[in-house]
Amino acid sequence: MRLLSSSAAMVFCLLGQNIAHASECATPGDMKQGLRLVYGADGTTKVKRRTDGLIEFTEIGSGADGGDLVYASRYGLYDLEAAAAGAGAGPDRRVTYDYDGGPLVEPAPGATGWVGQVIATFPGDAPVPETAAFVFGGAVAVAVGDCSFDAVTVEATFIRERDWEGQSFLYFPDFGFATLIGRAGPEMPKERYELTAIEPLPAE
């Protein structure tokens, strides 16, 4: 979950990409080298599947000092770690998330979602608990540029002691990851993120 429920605090405490200009639509096989996600004026993220099966997102230039942030996530929904990358990396620039509520569920139309407690551990601070609920919606076809991709809608709510945050995702089953497309809460204006391109990265 890029920018998970504690994202504002996390980005505050945490801190020319090499890309391919795809002439064709991205395919599941492109996950071998990774993909580039473009969100119009809202930034660029690189995504790849690690050898341990987790999804790794690198948000380009979104750290507090202008560096990159790297997230390790299950299905792109359940973040397990967020950390500063490069010169800004270190134990004081790392946040971890623990989930208590049973196995983390892959989104599918009509499938049971996930409800449980998430514990966020920030550098030098006491763990922060919150209740999280992920609700899976229906299957949709999503147009991204000139391409169309199958997706499942996901709505997540994170409830903390004094406030809450809602997040909207699109899960792409062919690729095995979800991407954040919106956020809302009592302490923030409603935000939407438009995904304008999904492109393969060059093979290393």
65-86 burial, b at 16+ Cβ within 10 Å, e below that, comes to eebbbbbbbbbbbbbbebbbbe
Distance CA 163, CA 9 (A): 14
pTM: 0.83
Q: What is the DSSP letter of 125?
A: S
Query: Is it the case that residue 8 has pLDDT exceeding 80?
Result: no
Distance CA 78, CA 101 (A): 12
The DSSP secondary structure of 136-167, one letter per residue, reads EEEEEEEEETTEEEEEEEEEEEEE-SS-EEEE
Share of the chain above pLDDT 70, in %: 82
Chain segment 175-204, per-residue pLDDT in tens? 999 999 999 988 788 899 999 999 999 876
The DSSP secondary structure of 43-100, one letter per residue, reads -EEEEEE-TTS-EEEEETT-STTS--EEEEEETTTEEEEEEE-GGG-SGGGEEEEEEE
Of the pLDDT bands very low, low, confident and very high (cuts 50, 70, 90), residue 62 is low
Chain segment 83-115, per-residue pLDDT in tens? 987 656 666 678 999 999 889 999 999 888 999
